[in-house]
Amino acid sequence: MIIYKNNNEYKALINQEKAMVSQLLEYQKNQKNLLMSFIVKFVDYLDDNNLNSIDEIASFVEELKDSIEICNDSINCAELINQALDKASNMKLKHNDASYKKIVTSYNETYFSNISKINENNTKILDVIYSISQNSSFDMLSESQEFLNNIDKRYKHVYNTPKEEAPTIIDKNFYANIGTDIQLNNIKENVEVEDTEEEIEEEEIIEQPNIISENTLLISESLQKVILPFTYDIAEKYLAEYPTEFTDIDDVIEKLYTIPLRSFRNPAIARFRETFRLMRERENSSIKDAIDLGLEMMFNYNLYPAIITACKNLDELDIYLAYLETGEVDKFKIFDIVYQLSPALSK
């Protein structure tokens, strides 16, 4: 606020107030950035969190989403204060105390109404941060601004994607240590409703292939791998362009399109995680939208999470979901889906 004394000090008071409001706005933005960086980190390591149930995770994620909305409200309040200060700074006034007192009074009213809301919001945010500290082993304060600036760049592969196609390039480091080895028929939800073999549409049960089919999502129990859709033409271009990175076509497929099956050991968590990543990394959506859709997909028990990973964009996922809802997944032609059971089970 501005404590007006006389018009000779008006400019100095405005400049002091600008510095204070700038710090206020920066603090609110940094608070949001801190929470955003934690949300992204939390999503990445859902399998390692200390929460006990899917419902608890969903509730915690909702709390995190609400915290971002609270931060946005505080930022908006700080910006309103800043706008009022700009108006006070640019106002052409008559050189008398009455004129200066009037504009200062108007600014102070804006300041007090918004700072009150900011203080209320900050109390809520501190409660959320405390909740985070109780529910996670991650140190939020260790995240740097550089990490935040690159949260949507971490999974873009170092190799340039050929212009003819934009395949889903996976981050091998991200999936390297998730989960443990699993079997498709043993996947269970950590909720009252459980996935069953009947709920997972098995388009085909095949013996271990010698050649992996193009444009096919292979979910293989016998191989303990998920292989994302690809084309041999694109794989060959990677091999030709980066001969020191890949030994052969199989190496390209293994390094760029293959995920351990254990990464999907908890289907509900995997559905949320893969939807969040699709929205943030391939759709460039807001964190709120990514969380909202992630929570919706989390409880879609008929949706195998690797299908989300295989979709290049939200349109592809929407098309699959439409067919899934009507029980006509055989009409989905964007890529084939093959579930490969172990030899013992397939007999």
User: Edge-to-edge, what's the strand order for the sheet holding 216-220?
Assistant: 258-260, 225-227, 216-220, 336-340
Is 311 found in the same domain as 241?
A: yes
The Cα 254–Cα 272 span in angstroms is 24
Is 42 found in the same domain as 141?
A: yes
Nearest alpha-carbon partner for 309 in 299, 320, 296:
320
Q: Examine the fold and report which residue of 117, 149, 181 is the final residue of a domain before the chain moves on.
A: 149
Is 254 found in the same domain as 137?
A: no
Is 102 found in the same domain as 236?
A: no
Q: Examine the fold and report which residue of 96, 114, 149 is the final residue of a domain before the chain moves on.
A: 149
> What's this model's pTM, rounded to 2 decimal places?
0.68
Torsion angle of alpha carbons 146, 151, 155, 160, nearest 10°?
Answer: -60
pLDDT at 252 over 70: yes
Is 209 found in the same domain as 78?
A: no
Residue 142 lies in a domain: yes
238: containing domain: 172-346
Is 252 found in the same domain as 304?
A: yes
Is 183 found in the same domain as 47?
A: no
- Do residues 94 and 51 make contact, with C-beta atoms less than 8 angstroms apart? no
Residue 295 lies in a domain: yes
From residue 151, alpha-carbon distances to 85, 156, 284 in Å are: 34, 10, 11
pLDDT > 70 fraction of the chain, expressed in percent and rounded: 69
Torsion angle of alpha carbons 307, 312, 318, 319, nearest 10°?
Answer: -80
Mean pLDDT confidence for 218-247: 91
Residue 166 lies in a domain: no
Residue partners of 189: CB distance under 8 A and separation at least 6: 54, 195, 266, 267, 268, 301
Of 264-273, 297-306, 323-332, minimum mean pLDDT range: 264-273
Query: Could you report the per-residue pLDDT of 121-178, keeping only the tens digit for each?
Result: 999 888 887 777 665 544 444 444 444 444 443 334 333 444 444 344 455 445 544 4
Residue 14 lies in a domain: yes
The Cα 173–Cα 162 span in angstroms is 22
What local confidence, expressed as pLDDT, does residue 211 receive? 60
Q: Examine the fold and report which residue of 114, 149, 184 is the final residue of a domain before the chain moves on.
A: 149
Structure tokens at 113: 């109404």
Left if phi > 0, otherwise alpha if psi is -120 to 50, otherwise beta: which for 164? Answer: alpha
Residue 154 lies in a domain: no
Taking each continuous run of H as one helix and of E as one strand, the counts in the chain are: 12, 4
What local confidence, expressed as pLDDT, does residue 74 receive? 94
What is the total count of domains within the chain?
Answer: 2
Mean pLDDT confidence for 64-90: 90
Is 199 found in the same domain as 89?
A: no
Is 255 found in the same domain as 127?
A: no
Is 176 found in the same domain as 144?
A: no
Is 264 found in the same domain as 126?
A: no
The mean pLDDT value of the chain amounts to 76
Is 125 found in the same domain as 209?
A: no
